[in-house]
Structures are given as structure tokens and as C-alpha cells.
Amino acid sequence: MKKNFLYIAAAAVLGFSSCVELDRYPLEELSDASFWKSPTDAEMAVSDLYPSLPSIYDVDDAINSDDAVHGIKWAAGNVSKGIYDPLDMSWSGTYAVIRQANLILSKIDDIPNYNQEEKNKVLGQTYFFRAFHYFDLIRTFGDVPYIDKPLTLADQESITRAPRAEVYTKMMADFDKAIEYLPVTWDGSNYGRITKGAALAMKARAALYYGEWQVAADNAKKCMDLGVYELYDKDNTGKYAELFWEVSDGCDEFICVRQYEAGINGSYLIGWDAFPTLGWGGINPTQSLVDAFEDIEGAPIAKSALYDSTNPFANRDPRLEVNVLHDGEVMYGQTIKVAPLPSSGNTGIGQHGDATATGYYQQKWLDPSIYPLTDGWDMGKDGVVIRYAEVLLTYAEAKNELSALDATAFDAVNQVRSRVGMPALQNTDASKPTYCATQDDLRQRIRNEWRVEFALEGGKRQWDIRRWGIAMDVMNKPRYGLKYEINGDECILYQGSQQAVGEATAYKEHNYVYPVPQKEIDLNPNLTQNPGY
């Protein structure tokens, strides 16, 4: 359960905004005699960094991969169509947050009589946010300007892009400082603040992205060894779906969250993501994502003895039903129909402007206790930035890359699988479908585990296919919905022709990084564009 809402007051007092669009890197502010006089000033300033954490609406980024297309057709951005336009890009909001972090670091020593332990907590949070946002920048754009102090006008005029590797090194040093200074836990009144575990997990994420396997494994293990996190419903009592509902907020799986509170800054995720008639259509999973879920014995469906293509949701990994709303299911008192016929009503393929394109709707975030037409437009479900399952899969992937078929890699990935009742991956019994004979066997199973465990979450898939170097292969294929065939007024689902719902995106090598925002190049001729744009 959530215990408080930590940053609204700071934002109201200071008037900061993490999403301000800035034409230039801003000059130093809040340097007058009225501020930076007491520890409260620093604590308010760092609290206002929290709204810069990823939004709960980042679920929409699933369309930038092979996992989904947008049910709300007008909301699909250019990137999902393979269009990387420098005019669409922006980084000024991110640099506004970095600038605020730099301001805190430059001013905090001016505060007299600041208890060192409390001061370190502010420093730890500040270093985390600066590192977090530089990671986002280099992952997105490659080489970027590196700024670690408030700027003068002369500084602004000489800004150039620093090599990604240089920024990465400095970013990782910031994570180290955050890890050193942050507490393992906060008291109840500070629910939601960044902890040592969050810094360890985010450092592990950054290392994993750039293939620093030992660094990723070491930091993931340190997070695991803190002993304060565990998987929600780790004993598999059938409550996995609750992990994505408001009832789970504050649980021990959540390492870092962005807080939402109904009536204060409530989100409209369910109203946005529910199927038409109760919402706007949300995200439509692709057939590729549906097919990624194994059968209940742990066999990929292409090798399954249980899989029935005409009854494809039977005998499958339970996470499939948690993620994908399909024909015949009852949700919010309505039976979902997806046949592309008028008789299917507004939930049928193409029968409504926001109706499914694939024959599926997303289900992960549809909390049955929150009615889409009312509270679904002002809900308090926290957005989860890091959960413990990520740490386990990070450790599993890194350990397998360091040492083929490492026993601890199996253990970590199998913890994630066992909490939903999926059988353990293993390398001792070749007669079972969970058998992994080689390092690459386990590598591919771990990669699939990333996909199904984090399906439709925060756009993770688009970054995974980039770091694995498979984005060109994945994105240069059409995206498909379910198969169906029409015979007069009758539609038979799951057989017949497969329906393409998204064209191949002509993904090229240079698309592994986004273009530098054209607005920034126009303002500063010292900035260069990424090759290919």
C-alpha cells in the first residue's frame, strides 16, 4: 500500500517542471538569498526531480517494437512507422532535469549545519537522477553533450557532443556515488524515494545494455543480496495478475516507482487502454507477441505437443491471459468479440475507429476494481520503473554470457518462471521441452523470458532488440494479427489468412540511435547530426 505522495508539495513551492521545453541550456537560477539556506530547501529541490521518472503512459512505446500496434490510430507516432525525423526529437526536457541536478550539487554545500547523513541522502538521489537521464540520452542518441555544472552563457556557446563511452563512464561513476550515499530503505513517510537497491538495479540495467556482463551481474547480485525485495506472489498462489493492479502498489517487487494519486496527479491509463465502448482502444498485441508465450510444459509453440492453433489460448503460459484480452473473454461485464463483422460491435476488428487492428487487446493494466468510464480516467496506480523480476533476469542473462549454462543463471530465470507455475529451464534432461543444451539455447530462452515477463511494459522490448543487435531483423518484418476467414456472415477465427496490420519499417543500421533533435542543431551549430539522418 502506498504511504504518501512525496513530490507534489515541492513542485508547487519551487515551480519547477521536468517537462519544460527549453530553447537554450538554461542559466543558473534559484541562486538568490531566499534559497539554499536550509536542509529543507535541498530536500524540496531533490523531491522535484521525481516527476522526471518515466511516465506510466510509456506502455504506449510497445508499438515501437514487434509487440504491438496502437489501437488509437491517431496516437501512433512516427517511430512506430519507421520514420526517424530529427524534427520530432527533443532532449531539452531531459537536460532541464540534469541542469536541476547540477544546481543541487553546486549549491548544497552552501547550506550551513547540514547533518552529513541527511545531506548524503539528498546527494545520493541527485546523483541517481543525473545518471539515470544520461543513460536515457546515450541509449537514445549515442554521443551527447555532457554537462555537470550550471552553465554560463559562454559555456552554452561552446557545447559539443561528448563521446558516448565518455558519458557512460561518468554516468556509472554517478551511479556509484548514489549507491554509496543512498539508504537501503526509507521510513514509511518517504515511500517512493530512490534507494540503494534502485541505484544498483539501474546501474545493472545500464551495464547490461552495453554488454558489460560482469558489472551487470555484480550489481544485480548486490541488489538481490540486500534482502529487501522479492517477487510478488512468489509462491504462485494465482495472484500474478494483481501485480499490475493498484492493490500491488508498495509491494516488495517494486524497486523504483513513479507515484500517481487519484485527484492529485491521477493517470487515465485504464480509460486510455481499455477496449472501445469503455475506453479508447489502447494497445493491440501482435500475433508475434502472442506466439512468444510457451505452452504450459515449457515448450515453444512451434515445438509443442499441446498447442492447438484453433484454440490457441489453451494450455499456455499463464502470463498470456494476463497480458492479452481475446475473443470470448468477459471484462467489465462485456464479452469481447473480435470478428471483423458488424455483429461484433465496437470491439470487432475495424468496426470502430479505436477498435483492435490485430484481433487482440491488452489486458495487463485492466484492473477489474477500476471502472474505465469513471475512475479509469483518474487512477492512482503507480508506474513501475524497476521491479525485482528485472534484476533476476539481468543476473541470469549476464551470468550465462560470462559462463555458459551457469547454474546461478538457471536459478535466477527459474525464479521468475516458477512464480507463475512455469517449469524450470534445465540442462540435465533432454527429453523435456525445457532442456537447454548450449549457451545459446539458454540465451534465447532468457531473451524470450524478457519478452513475456515484461510484455507491453515501458517499451522495454524496443530497447532489448536494440541491445541484442536484432532490431533490423525484427523490425523489417510486417506485424500481423490473428488469422481469420470469412464465409458469408460467419467469421472463423484462428484459421485462414494471417492479416498484416503493420508494414515492415525499413529499419536500417543507423536507426540503432535516434537523430539528434534538429531544434538543438539549429540553436547550436557546434552540434553534429548522427550519420544517416
Give the distance from CA 38 to its chain's centroid.
36
Tell me how far CA of residue 235 lies from CA of 57, 201, 294, 500, in angstroms.
30, 23, 20, 40
Q: Which residue has the higher pLDDT, 228 or 11?
A: 228
Residue 43 DSSP code: H
Average pLDDT over residues 144-170: 91
d(CA 26, CA 23) in angstroms, rounded, equals 8
**450 has a pLDDT exceeding 90:** yes
Predicted local confidence at residue 12, as pLDDT? 37
* Nearest residue to 279 via CA among 331, 344, 338: 331
Predicted local confidence at residue 32, as pLDDT? 54
pLDDT in tens, 261-318: 999 999 999 999 999 989 999 899 999 999 999 999 999 999 999 999 999 999 999 9
* Nearest residue to 229 via CA among 385, 456, 365, 386: 386
* Nearest residue to 316 via CA among 499, 416, 452: 452
Beta bridge partners of 74: none
Tell me how far CA of residue 58 lies from CA of 54, 383, 457, in angstroms.
7, 9, 7
Residue 188 pLDDT class (50, 70, 90 cuts) = confident
Domains of the chain: 1-55+84-194 (1.25.40.390), 269-379 (no CATH)
Q: Which residue has the higher pLDDT, 488 or 294?
A: 294
d(CA 176, CA 416) in angstroms, rounded, equals 27
Predicted local confidence at residue 148, as pLDDT? 96
d(CA 185, CA 287) in angstroms, rounded, equals 41
d(CA 71, CA 343) in angstroms, rounded, equals 19
d(CA 169, CA 390) in angstroms, rounded, equals 23
**8 has a pLDDT exceeding 50:** no
Predicted local confidence at residue 14, as pLDDT? 40
**29 has a pLDDT exceeding 70:** no
pTM above 0.85, yes or no: yes
Average pLDDT over residues 487-508: 88
**363 has a pLDDT exceeding 50:** yes
